[in-house]
């Protein structure tokens, strides 16, 4: 009898599937589009990289088995900062780095038996892809969604380029956690994503199959606020200072105003005697990074500008201050301060001794006098002239109406979402297809001149970030003629943000070789929307928001029917590996770590108790040097050196073992810890599958095919029932991406097959069960399933139709009925499944242990749940 040897069977079936074009997508019949977020090509892959592809592959194979026309494509997010930074770190040219890594990554995917339709492969750094970035950019420009503007932008000093708001995480660069983002004043290209703010927000409600968490993050990011803009006339000047407020009902309590230091008006308003002080404050604010403003204690700072404005409702003269707690980027960059009803304004007023006038009081109590804190709740208006006595909610509308009638303000909706800055002063990206002409201004490159190819710069040193685009130094690229007037002109030297590339790649897969359009409408309409999208939570706002924006734009351009790209979204948990944090000194209860370990673990102290070690999920185990080391699971990464590499693992152990290990260890949305024990479990399981089929191989080949489910013995009925229950369970679990419980059900079924063979022979039922079993196993462990399937069949297991279950066979003829007395289980009885209530209750009362509990008591109620239980309620 042959032994299970993954190494001997896996390459064979990988070739077989490749040659047969198993995952080749065709536009026929009912479609299913399964997609994992495409990666940027990094070096060798570890198991952490492959979890979502393994999930996607299992789903794609299952849908294939169900007879769907499946699209499961793959590509490479090859342009952009991540790829370029990584390449430059190793002194390599981004192009070489990218294509080397693509080759390596493909090898890893193949080794794992992850199948794609490689004919539709998309690589974003090739001209046949990025020309469509340029084409889309120009369409957006024509639609008025692209504009060039100056102003303060986020600048990463390490990347030496500007960043989008979404790429600033806690004041730091998304690629450099240790690098604070600076502010610079530059003229850049923007995409007007804010034009879609309302639709991006409202349509989140349509996304039923998206995680609540992702939707919540997008809602927060878009940050819609309803309120009013109010114009405060500036004393002694013709113009007005406009503010946004969500609380127009508190307008009578506006006792001063605050304008952001960066606001251009700040230095215009300032009175001569205050100028020196205000200028100093503005300069200081500009020097502070975003993060300093956030992390510094919230002590308010600010200076008086010397200027005054007039409160439009009561004509009161209010001082105008400048302070950095007002953000230039939000609303109008200036506020009316209502210290009685806004905690921030309250603190500011207290510190600078400004007037505090309460104008709202709670419904049934009075405000303390003096106020100790701002009252921010709803209530009744006071001190508010003709509006006094109104409930605050009504007051909002009334005051807004009053302002509108006088032309002093209007109802306004404001968003936190900013337009998307897409220029990057870097080499490795799509050239922005614009030409700057002194006479005509910015002119788009005509469509027939696309693509604007990225010039080849061979010397890596010339590519390195230098604060301006490396393309500036290439006159043969930069110098061109104006498409409008024919005069001398210069190309835009910047490249596009990498997120532009990934905002529409899922559409390119539907029509990957189209050389007239990014994608044809009929192809896109056939495949879209993506039925199941799988990826990491880190893209909750970035990629997923941008993609929704692009799809809506394409929809509006009549390029595609759908206006949301991803029907179902699944965010998978990360893969962790046990990580060695170096030697630990153990003295009884006390454990001492090295300073390096303390920093890596982000601990306050290097000294821990054994109990704390346990609570952290860490362990003290022997390290490679034989001493006691501190071990703890951490997300697999190259820098920690804790990644289980795909190539070596698969070559030593096998792809199916890796797949089962990943899919079984934990629910897919949760993080999983890769352990040697988990691998062992997967190995044991697949070995048991192998032996069950191979031990009976000859007998199975000879066994008859047909059997009558009605004429089975007890053991047969039990196996047949388990088979049908397993089909149901695995099918439902696959639909819900619950791979762990699906595999658990397969393990149970395998145990049932073993049990059956202890007494039962190899017959038609057993053969049928064994073959169906292989079909159910195939999405998870395709190689072993295919190998064993071929022992008994001519065709691929993936060509056989996914089994359906016999509804009638799910429930046993005889079932266990639980008998409870007052809700506590007191007996179990075997009864026919169709036992009626009367019989069941009578039987229940007769159970010996039940009788004991009924003794001397009165039955006041009897509950019967068919197929489940009887509950006798007694008193006394």
Report 332-361 residues binding RNA (CB under 7 A): 333, 335, 342, 344
State the minimum distance, in angstroms, from the CB of residue 610 to RNA. Answer: 14
Which residues lie across from 337 on neighbouring strands? 256
Pairs from 142-145 (Cβ < 8 Å, separation ≥ 24): 142/444, 143/553, 143/556, 143/557, 144/192, 145/191, 145/192, 145/195, 145/553
> Residues 454-493: x/- map of binding to RNA (CB under 7 A)?
----------------------------------------
d(CA 647, CA 12): 17
> What phi and psi, each to the nearest 5 degrees, are found at residue 806?
-95, 105
Write down the least CB distance from residue 226 to RNA, Å: 9
Q: Phi/psi class of residue 171: alpha, beta or left (left: φ > 0; alpha: ψ in -120 to 50)?
A: left
Cα 301 to chain centroid, rounded = 38
User: In which element (H, E) is residue 524 found?
Assistant: helix 521-527
Of 757-796, binders to RNA (CB under 7 A) are: none
Number of neighbours of residue 102 by Cβ within 10 angstroms: 18
Q: State the nearest-atom distance from the C-beta of 376 to RNA, in Å.
A: 10
x/- map, 116-145, RNA, by CB under 7 A? ------------------------------
- Does residue 213 touch RNA according to CB under 7 A? yes
The residue count for binding RNA (CB under 7 A) is: 80
Q: Tell me how far apart the alpha carbons of residues 777 and 692 are, in angstroms, rounded to a whole number.
A: 14
Q: How far apart are CA 265 and CA 259, in angstroms?
A: 8
Residue 154 contacts RNA per CB under 7 A: no
Instruction: Figure out which of the listed residues 18, 27, 96, 170 binds RNA, where binding follows CB under 7 A.
Output: 170
Give the residue among 373, 181, 174, 178 at the shortest CA–CA distance from 293: 181
Instruction: Considering only the stretches 125-133, 212-220, 709-717, 835-843, report the one whose residues sit in contact with RNA under the rule CB under 7 A.
Output: 212-220
Q: Is residue 544 within 8 Å of residue 569, measured between CB atoms?
A: yes
Query: Is 818 in a helix, a strand, or coil?
Result: strand
Considering only 39, 75, 94, 227, the residue that binds RNA (CB under 7 A) is 227
Q: Which is nearer to RNA, 331 or 803 (CB)?
A: 331
298 lines the binding site for RNA (CB under 7 A): yes
**What is the rounded distance in angstroms from the CA atom of residue 329 to the CA atom of residue 411?**
20
- The residue from 19, 28, 205, 212 that contacts RNA (CB under 7 A) is 212
Q: Cα–Cα distance between 432 and 848 in angstroms, integer?
A: 85
Distance CA(257)–CA(234), nearest Å, equals 11
Residue of the chain from 537, 694, 829, 854 that contacts RNA (CB under 7 A): 537
Helix (H, G, I), strand (E, B) or coil at 228: strand
d(CA 742, CA 733): 6
Rounded to the nearest whole angstrom, what is the least distance from the CB of residue 722 to RNA in the complex?
Answer: 11
Please identify, among the stretches 110-118, 131-139, 511-519, 664-672, the one whose residues bind RNA according to the rule CB under 7 A: 664-672
Q: How far apart are the first and last CA of the chain?
A: 67
Check residue 413 for interaction with RNA (CB under 7 A): no
Cβ closest to RNA, residue 74 vs residue 872:
872
Considering only residues 841 to 870 of the shown chain, the ones binding RNA according to CB under 7 A are: 849, 852-853, 861, 863, 865, 868-869
Residue from the set 79, 244, 581, 690 that interacts with RNA by CB under 7 A? 244
Please tell me the distance from the alpha carbon of residue 29 to that of residue 334, in angstroms, as a whole number: 58
Q: Determine contact, residues 102/40, Cβ cutoff 8 Å.
A: no
Of 813-832, binders to RNA (CB under 7 A) are: 816, 818, 820, 822-828
Closest to 163 measured CA to CA, from 471, 498, 545: 498
Interface residue with RNA, options 209, 293, 701, 791 (CB under 7 A)? 293
| 678 is an interface residue for RNA by CB under 7 A | yes
CB nearer to RNA: give 89 or 298: 298
Contacting residue, 26, 439, 670, 701, with RNA by CB under 7 A: 670
Beta strand 31-36 with 69-71: parallel, antiparallel or unpaired? parallel
- Of 152, 169, 620, 635, the one binding RNA by CB under 7 A: 169
Looking at the chain, the number of H-run helices and the number of E-run strands are 30, 40
Residues 680-699 within binding reach of RNA (CB under 7 A): 680-681, 684-685, 687-688
CB of 512 to RNA, least distance (A): 33
State the binding string over 599-628 for RNA (x if CB under 7 A, else -): ------------------------------
What is the C-alpha separation between 548 and 22, in angstroms, rounded? 31
């Amino acid at each position: 009898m042959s032994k299970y040897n993954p190494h001997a069977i896996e390459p064979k079936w990988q070739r077989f599937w490749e040659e047969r074009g198993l995952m080749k997508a065709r536009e026929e019949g009912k479609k299913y589009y399964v997609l994992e977020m495409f990666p940027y090509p990094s070096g060798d892959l570890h198991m952490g990289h492959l979890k979502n592809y393994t999930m996607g592959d299992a789903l794609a194979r299952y849908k294939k088995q169900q007879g769907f026309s499946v699209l499961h494509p793959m590509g490479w997010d090859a342009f952009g900062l991540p790829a370029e930074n990584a390449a430059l770190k190793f002194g390599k040219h981004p192009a070489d780095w990218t294509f080397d890594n693509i080759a390596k990554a493909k090898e890893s995917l193949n080794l794992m038996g992850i199948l794609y339709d490689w004919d539709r492969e998309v690589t974003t750094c090739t001209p046949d892809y990025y020309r469509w970035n340029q084409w889309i950019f120009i369409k957006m420009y024509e639609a008025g969604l692209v504009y060039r503007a100056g102003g303060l932008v986020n600048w990463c000093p390490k990347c030496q380029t500007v960043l989008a708001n979404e790429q600033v995480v806690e004041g730091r660069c998304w690629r450099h956690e240790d690098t604070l983002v600076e502010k610079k004043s530059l003229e850049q290209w923007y995409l007007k994503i804010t034009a879609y703010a309302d639709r991006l927000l409202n349509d989140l409600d349509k996304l039923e199959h998206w995680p609540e968490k992702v939707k919540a993050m997008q809602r927060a990011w878009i940050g819609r606020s309803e309120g009013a803009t109010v114009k405060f006339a500036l004393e002694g000047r013709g113009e007005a200072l406009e503010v946004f407020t969500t609380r127009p009902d508190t307008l009578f309590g506006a006792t001063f105003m605050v304008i952001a230091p960066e606001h251009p008006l700040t230095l215009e308003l300032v009175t001569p005697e205050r100028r020196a002080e205000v200028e100093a404050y503005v300069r200081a604010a500009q020097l502070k990074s975003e993060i300093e403003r956030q992390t510094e204690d919230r002590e308010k700072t600010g200076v008086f500008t010397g200027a005054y404005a007039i409160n439009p409702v009561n004509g009161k003269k209010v001082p105008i201050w400048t302070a950095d707690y007002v953000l230039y980027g939000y609303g109008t960059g200036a506020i009316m301060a209502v210290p009685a009803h806004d905690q921030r304004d309250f603190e500011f007023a207290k510190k600078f001794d400004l007037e505090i006038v309460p104008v709202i009081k709670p419904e049934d109590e009075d405000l303390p006098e003096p106020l100790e804190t701002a009252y921010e709740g709803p209530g009744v208006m006071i001190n508010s002239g003709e509006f006094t006595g109104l409930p605050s909610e009504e007051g909002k509308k009334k005051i807004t109406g009053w302002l509108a009638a006088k032309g002093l303000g209007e109802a306004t909706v404001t968003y936190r979402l900013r337009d998307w800055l897409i220029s990057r002063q870097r080499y490795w990206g799509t050239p922005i297809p614009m030409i700057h002409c002194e006479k005509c201004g910015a002119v788009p490159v005509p469509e027939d001149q696309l693509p604007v190819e990225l010039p080849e710069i061979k010397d890596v040193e010339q590519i390195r970030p230098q604060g301006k685009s490396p393309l500036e130094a290439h006159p043969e690229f930069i110098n061109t003629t104006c498409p409008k007037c024919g005069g001398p002109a210069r190309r835009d030297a910047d490249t596009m943000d990498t997120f532009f590339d990934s905002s529409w790649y899922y559409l390119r897969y539907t029509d990957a070789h189209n050389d007239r359009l990014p994608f044809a409408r009929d192809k896109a309409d056939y495949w879209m929307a993506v039925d199941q999208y799988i990826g990491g939570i880190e893209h909750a706002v970035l990629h997923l928001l941008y993609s929704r924006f692009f799809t809506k734009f394409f929809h509006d351009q009549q390029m595609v029917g759908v206006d949301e790209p991803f029907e179902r979204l699944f965010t998978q948990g990360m893969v962790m590996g046990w990580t060695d944090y170096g030697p630990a000194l153990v003295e009884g209860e006390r454990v001492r770590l090295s300073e390096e370990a303390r920093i890596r673990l982000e601990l306050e102290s290097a000294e821990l108790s054994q109990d704390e070690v346990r609570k952290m999920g860490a362990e003290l185990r022997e390290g490679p040097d034989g001493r006691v080391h501190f071990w703890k699971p951490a997300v697999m990464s190259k820098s920690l050196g804790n990644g289980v590499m795909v190539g070596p693992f698969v070559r030593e152990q096998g792809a199916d073992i890796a797949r089962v290990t990943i899919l079984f260890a934990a629910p897919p949305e949760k993080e999983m810890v890769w352990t040697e024990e988990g691998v062992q479990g997967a190995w044991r399981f697949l070995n048991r599958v192998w032996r069950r089929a191979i031990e009976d191989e000859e007998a199975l080949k000879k066994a008859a095919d047909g059997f009558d489910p009605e004429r089975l013995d007890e053991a047969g009925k039990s196996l047949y029932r388990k088979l049908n229950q397993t089909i149901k369970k695995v099918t439902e679990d696959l639909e819900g991406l619950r791979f762990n419980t699906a595999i658990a059900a397969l393990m149970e079924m395998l145990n049932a097959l073993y049990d059956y063979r202890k007494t039962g022979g190899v017959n038609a039922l057993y053969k049928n069960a064994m073959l169906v079993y292989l079909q159910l196993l195939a999405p998870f462990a395709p190689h072993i399933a295919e190998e064993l399937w071929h022992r008994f069949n001519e065709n691929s297991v993936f060509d056989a139709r996914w089994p359906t279950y016999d509804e009638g066979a799910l429930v046993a003829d005889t079932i266990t009925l639980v008998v409870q007395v007052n809700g506590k289980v007191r007996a179990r009885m075997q009864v026919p499944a169709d036992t009626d209530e009367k019989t069941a209750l009578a039987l229940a009362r007769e159970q010996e242990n039940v009788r004991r509990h009924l003794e001397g008591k009165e039955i006041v109620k009897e509950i019967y749940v068919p197929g489940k239980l009887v509950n006798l309620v007694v008193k006394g």
